[in-house]
A = this chain, B = another copy of it.
């Protein structure tokens, strides 16, 4: 068995967790902040049998792949002083550590 520690963007976490639950992957979500990814992030701790590791990694890759997104910033001052226009930002990405589990116990 492997323990997968995946740091993903908060933005992607909800959809990823939903997908992994559908596919019956056991996971727990740790609150986390800053670091590996620029904006707010979430660390998922996922227990997985060796034979499903590639499937898991493919899902993470698919759901979290870096991509461009058009966002319109909110005006920072009085509305007439500054007219915001849409900008392209890069979102997504994931940092994934795969650890070997020496022993697994379910109570």
Interface residues of A (CB under 8 A from B): 1-3, 5, 7, 17, 26-36, 41, 43, 45, 47, 57, 60-61, 64-66, 92-107
Q: Which chain B residues border A7 with CB–CB below 8 Å?
A: 28, 45
Instruction: Specify the chain B residue showing the minimal Cβ separation from A61.
Output: B107
Summarize A's interface: helix, strand, loop or mixed. strand
Contact with A41, one of B1, B28, B60, B94 (Cβ below 8 angstroms): B28
A26 contacts B31, CB within 8 Å? no
A104 contacts B99, CB within 8 Å? no
B17 contacts A28, CB within 8 Å? no
B28 contacts A60, CB within 8 Å? no
Q: Which chain B residues border A34 with CB–CB below 8 Å?
A: 17, 28-29
B31 contacts A35, CB within 8 Å? no
